Amino acid sequence: MASSQRDVINFSALERELQGAIESEQKYKRENEAKLRAVNQKVSYDQFRDLVLSCHLRPLEKKDKDGAPRKQPWNPVAPT
């Protein structure tokens, strides 16, 4: 029995779609948790918005601060 082009599964496209759906779901959960935390803190709208927009950021760890070489100067525009 001959298979047509419709019957062929494009696994790479399917995997990309799955990864996109997973990332979208993770973003939704992360933002929703940030919204709930902000509401419990009784913050202003601007603070609420900032908390939600920055929910993807993680705090620095000690190893990130101490003894690590700088990858970028503090002010790359200023003359040396």
Q: What pLDDT score was predicted for residue 67?
A: 66
SS3 for 8-77 is CCCHHHHHHHHHHHHHHHHHHHHHHHHHHHHHHHCCCHHHHHHHHHCCCCCCCCHHHHCCCCCCCCCCCC
Q: What pLDDT score was predicted for residue 8?
A: 87
Rg (CA), the chain: 22
Position with higher pLDDT, 29 vs 4: 29
Q: What pLDDT score was predicted for residue 1?
A: 46
Mean pLDDT of 6-31: 93
Condensed to tens digits (0 to 9), the pLDDT of residues 20-78 reads: 999 999 999 999 999 999 999 999 999 999 999 999 888 877 776 666 666 776 776 77
For residues 51 and 42, the answer to whether their CB atoms sit within 8 Å is no
Q: What are phi and psi of 79, to 5 degrees?
A: -70, 150
